Amino acid sequence: AIRSARLTSRHVEHHIVGNLAGSVCYTSRQLLFLDQAELTINTLIYTEGRLQLKDLTATSLDKLAEVTGLCRGAGVQVHGTEMLVSLEGSNTKWLLTAH
């Protein structure tokens, strides 16, 4: 009976140690899964942010090109207006000196 009690006690200890090891393994797997899930989510957020930044940059470059084109057009218009004023001044001087 004593030997039987010792075997039962060892058997219980074995199950306790086995359950403890199983719990440690389960917790480790859970932590690893959570770390991998967090990394995946952060990567997705980073990628989405980069895509949004790319879109914003493209939009900004398009607007910049449009404004640059308008400025160039305005520069040509200003240059044309300056030439017209200069010609009017020359014509006025010619009229005043010729007559």
Concatenating the DSSP letter of every residue in 66-87 gives HHHHHHHHHHHHHHHHHHHHHH
Distance separating alpha carbons of residues 21 and 57, to the nearest angstrom:
53
Distance separating alpha carbons of residues 66 and 72, to the nearest angstrom:
10
The reported pTM is 0.47
At position 35, the amino acid (one-letter code) is: D
Asked whether residue 24 carries a pLDDT value surpassing 80, the answer given is: yes
C-alpha distances out from residue 38 to 33, 48, 51, Å: 9, 15, 20
- What are the pLDDT digits (tens) for 45-96? 889 888 888 888 888 888 888 877 777 766 666 666 676 667 666 766 666 7
- Please report the pLDDT score of residue 80 as a whole number: 61
